[in-house]
Amino acid sequence: MQEFIKQYKKNKSAVVGFFIVVILVSMAIFAPWIAPHAPYDQNLADRLIPPMWEAGGKASYILGTDDFGRDLFSRIVYGARISLMVGAVSVGMSLTFGLVMGLMAGFFGGKIDLFIMRIVDIMLSIPAILLAIVVVSILGPSLINAMIAIGIVGIPTYARIVRASVMAEKEKEYVIASRVNGSGNLRLMFKVILPNAATPIIVQSTMGFASAVLEAAGLSFLGLGAQPPTPEWGAMLSDSLQFITTAPWMIFYPGLAIFFTVLGFNLVGDGLMDVLDPKLKDK
């Protein structure tokens, strides 16, 4: 662990990403104590107030208010909870199904591999956001259905990564030795091969988290994800489009939150790749 931390610290951008993620997680956990207002509280007398450092701003509204008089800073803070939930549920779903599909395809090969990978190829032939829109359109617009759609969209990526890793590991001597010692297929797949093929899966999961947040914001922006008045960043962007000239802070700060969240997880993923991938680490 000490060697891992030492190697990780050498990547300055990864350290920056780590602190961004820590801030995001802290916002989500401590939202009731950080946010000065409840995210749904409306005060029409204080609608469209600019950030506190601009003319007409108030100290009680750090980033200003929206068209319903709701505190923008509080809604962004609570939005971190939704973003983390979307990332965790979507990546968990993608990883679970992609892991099983990739393990079966890579380990057994033959017709099983052909069948699974043709399904994967069909899914990959459709642009991710378009596939997510189709799924949400079938299930109905909601945050839960958006998470399901994003989870389905991510399955092919994990399946291909796991398959490639399993195919690279299954013919190695330690696997053959374990098979000779009487290990069954399930033990070989989950106990022997999978732990040694975990590096690309961990890296992809981290970067997939960033993609899930971005895709959820995109679906909410289109009205297919979180529905008003949920404090989700993409939905906040969609609701504020009509005020882009009169109240630009309503668009700028939710967009900035999305940007830093995606940046943070991508930087962490790059750092993990540098540390965990032996080929990159030796360079």
**10-residue mean pLDDT series, the chain (283 residues):** 78 91 94 93 91 90 93 95 92 94 92 93 87 89 92 93 90 86 87 87 90 91 88 91 90 94 92 71 46
Structure tokens that stand for 223 in this block: 């009205």
pLDDT of residue 280: 46
Q: State residue 195's pLDDT score.
A: 87
Q: Please say whether the beta carbons of 267 and 13 come within 8 A.
A: yes
- Domain holding 143, by residue range, is 2-281
- Please tell me the predicted confidence (pLDDT) of residue 278: 52
Total number of domains in the chain: 1
User: Where residue 39 sits, what CATH number does that domain have?
Assistant: 1.10.3720.10
Q: Cα angle at 223 between 220 and 224, to 5 degrees?
A: 75
Query: What confidence score (pLDDT) does residue 86 get?
Result: 92
Predicted model pTM = 0.89
Q: What pLDDT does residue 156 have?
A: 93
